[in-house]
Structure 1
Amino acid sequence: MNITGKSVLVTGGTDGIGLEIARQLLAKGASVIICGRREELLVSAREEGLEAIQADLSTAAGCAALAATLANRPIDMLINNAGMSGNFAPGEPLDLALTDKAIFLNLNAPLHLIGHFLPTLLQRPEAVIVNVTSGLAIAPRAGGPVYCATKAGLRSFTQSLRHNLRDTNVHVIEALPPVVDTAMTRGRVNGKKISAKQCAAEIVDAIATNAKEANVGMVKLLRLAYSISPALARRIMIKY
């Protein structure tokens, strides 16, 4: 896709991977809209030249409100990046309220937004949907059961959606980051992390080259291991 001149919506775009994607697309000549919940981060993003809208995508009403705000805008690219961990410590009871919120934000919200924006995307000369899942959608880790389940669900949906839209102008990309140094992982996930800037660069490159997947960083090795032995890949990742 030629990114220059495209109108882009990035969810969860006020920090981390989403903000870096927005910055890099803006630098390539796109008109970028981001959304998030924290007003102070939205203000900071506006100072960088991004259009920033306050939105809570953890409910159906919040997704509908965002879609209504942008109803008359010619969106060319929808990047479903917003997410949360929703995890719980081993031995602790499952927080059902937190679990429900994580399931909606990580899985239902992308589906809702695609449902809202797909008619507009289908009318554009060329359009892209990017769903940000995770390497953990391929093989889960014990420390993140809710997160892994939602990302695996979104991965499955993305693959089916890509097939269903294969004869249309809408290209569907799945982005699979490894562990990225963001607010969500700090103090919760140990080990080597890549920067949000590096992760975003690989995702933006996948958009520019019309790739089907952006297997970011170490996820490339995970994909290789899984292709050789899914059972081995799962044994390795469950303890990660």
Structure 2
Amino acid sequence: MTMQLTGNTIFITGGSSGIGRGLAEAFHKRGNQVIIAGRRAALMEEVTAANPGMAAIVMDIADPASIAAAADRLMRDYPNLDVLVNNAGIMPFDDASAPIDDAMAQRLIATNLLGPIRMTSALIEHLKQRPRATILYNTSVLAYVPLAMTAVYSATKAALHSYALSQRFMLRDTAVTVQEIAPPWVDTDLVRKSGDSRAMPLDAFIAETMAGLGTEAPEILVESARPLRDNPGAEEHALVHGFNLSLVENPIPVDG
């Protein structure tokens, strides 16, 4: 079933910056009722002020109680909610050749994996009652070709991709569609907005992604992401080695 790009009530986690804000504004411009969520109230107020009619809910995606409270408010104040965009995520760097900071790893898993699972679980019965609904997961091409210096992050995205595949199957006889976007390196502040020529400009990514969301494709890929998505099976080890070696030789800018 094709997702309608207009006339929806859409909840977007992590909607105050980066890809989340880009998607929120693109949907808002198409006449959808958009509600964004995030931890930083001031930043969300800035986004909603720039987009009259857009709403915001303060929520911590890593906190189950915060998710439950947000879900209750959504079902009370926005009973026509029919699209959930699981976008919120964090991307700290790590070193899998050394001891991993346990608090960091737990925070990453709670945010990037358990957060979307819990958020969807809180809304799934509501969404199943809608005439048509969509659950959208923002994963990453790093789900298929991990970035070694973000080993835990890459693993959470691989796990979320797997979860989306299972959920899509389990919802096959309902009116709920599960879609996934797997961005390449997009020039946002997830790491550091740098203008690096290897990073896809945010506006170009959003435009190509919105076009894809209007199709029946279960997974929306911009063209620049396809080579990494087409991870060549038995050649995976060589591909991952070469991908990471290229980034060691030309590092991602992470400092100011």
TM-score between both structures, scaled by the size of structure 2: 0.87
- The SS at the match of 1:236 is helix
Q: Is residue 171–residue 210 contact of structure 1 (8 Å, CA) maintained in 2? A: no
> Larger deviation: 126-135 or 203-212?
203-212
In structure 1, what residue type is equivalent to 2:144?
A: I
Structure 1 32/125 Cα, relative in aligned 2: closer, same or farther at 3 Å? same
Q: Deviations over 1:184-238 (max 9, x none)?
A: 2217997610122222223322321132101124211112353684333323334
Query: Are the aligned partners of 1:194 and 1:217 in contact in 2 as well (CA < 8 Å)?
Result: no
Aligned mate of 1:69, from 54, 62, 73: 73
Secondary structure of 2:6's match? coil
For this pair of structures, how many residues does the alignment match?
240
Residue 26 of structure 2: which of 24, 27, 30 is its match? 24
Answer yes or no: is the 8 Å Cα contact 1:206–1:212 preserved in 2. no
1:173 deviates by 0.6
Unpaired runs of 5+ residues, structure 1, are none
Measured at CA, do residues 189 and 95 of structure 1 come closer, stay the same or move farther in structure 2, by a change above 3 Å? farther
2:63 to 59, 62, 65: 59
Q: Which amino acid in 2 is paired with 1:130?
A: L
Indicate the SS of the match to 2:75: coil
**Partner Cα distance (2:25, 2:228) in 1:** 28
* Residues in 2 aligned to 1:164 and 1:202: alpha-carbon distance in whole angstroms: 28
Aligned to 1:5: 7
Secondary structure of the 1:9 match is strand
Q: Where does the alignment leave 5 or more consecutive residues of structure 2 unmatched?
A: 248-256
- Residue identity matched to 2:210: V
1:139 shift after superposition: 1.4
Does 1:194 find its partner at 2:200?
yes
1:1-240 to structure 2, matched below 5 A, reads 1-47=3-49, 48-49=51-52, 50-72=54-76, 73=78, 74-89=80-95, 93-186=99-192, 192-226=198-232, 229-239=235-245, 240=247
Contact kept, 8 Å, 2:145 with 2:231, in 1: the verdict is no
Q: Distance in 2 between matches of 1:91 and 1:212?
A: 35
In 2, are the aligned partners of 1:33 and 1:52 still within 8 Å (CA)? yes
Sequence identity of aligned pairs in percent?
Answer: 34
Indicate if the aligned counterparts of 1:86 and 1:99 stay in contact, CA closer than 8 A: no
* Structure 1 residue 3 displacement after superposition: 2.0
- Measure, in 2, the Cα distance between the counterparts of 1:143 and 1:92: 11
Aligned counterparts of 2:155 and 2:194: Cα–Cα separation in 1? 18
Residue identity matched to 2:73: T
Between the aligned partners of 1:8 and 1:19, the Cα distance in structure 2 is 13
- Which stretch shifts more, 32-41 or 84-93? 84-93
**Does structure 1 conserve the Cα–Cα contact (< 8 Å) formed by 2:95 and 2:151?**
no
Which amino acid counterpart does residue 69 of structure 1 have in structure 2?
Answer: R
